[in-house]
Amino acid sequence: MRGTETAAETDMHPHTTPPSLDEIAAMAFAARDALPEPFRGPARTVAIRVEDFAADDVLAEMEIDDPFELTGLYDGIPLTEKSVMDQPDRPDTIWLFRRPILDEWIEREDVDLPALVAHVLVHEFAHHFGWSDDDIATIDRWWE
């Protein structure tokens, strides 16, 4: 602890080096495994990938100029739109982007990193499950 940090601030930023891709992924898997049933099982069928930033072609397609603006992305067919006739060419995937997440975490200063990772992940799962804002609010009590 630096001389001016409180114990709570140390808990919010316990790392002396930025968490790795694998550490962010472990936080995401823990958040996925904490989802309530009946979502936990189906959520395990969605791949979770962590990269530093979204690929340039993804950013261009989404018309995002600053790669720090995208913390997560759902890539797949939402369950509300799937058909038995669909022939998927890749698994449904949630992408988390480490550097933008870390920047948001540092800027916020009021949330711990696993909670922020869970928040981003839940919002990407919302696309997969077709959740409304009310549905999200029952799972992700972010404002509390």
pLDDT in tens, 49-89: 999 999 999 999 999 999 999 999 999 988 888 777 767 67
Report residue 135 as tokens: 């549905």
Sorting pLDDT into bands at 50, 70 and 90, what band is 10?
Answer: very low
CATH of region 16-76+91-137, choose from 3.40.50.300, 3.30.2010.20, 3.10.580.10, 3.30.1330.80: 3.30.2010.20
Q: What is the pTM of this model?
A: 0.82
CA of 57: how far to CAs of 63, 111, 127, in Å?
A: 10, 31, 21
Sheet of 72-75: strands edge to edge?
A: 47-51, 93-97, 72-75
Please name every residue paired with 47 in a beta bridge, in sequence order, or none if there are none: 93
Going from N- to C-terminal start, the domains of the chain cover 16-76+91-137
Q: Which residue has the higher pLDDT, 123 or 8?
A: 123
Task: Please identify which residue in the block is written with the tokens 């870390």.
Answer: 102
Break the chain down into helix, strand, coil percent, rounded to 5: 45, 10, 45
Indicate if the alpha-carbon torsion angle 45, 98, 116, 16 is positive or negative.
positive
For residue 5, pLDDT beyond 80: no
Report residue 101 as tokens: 């997440």
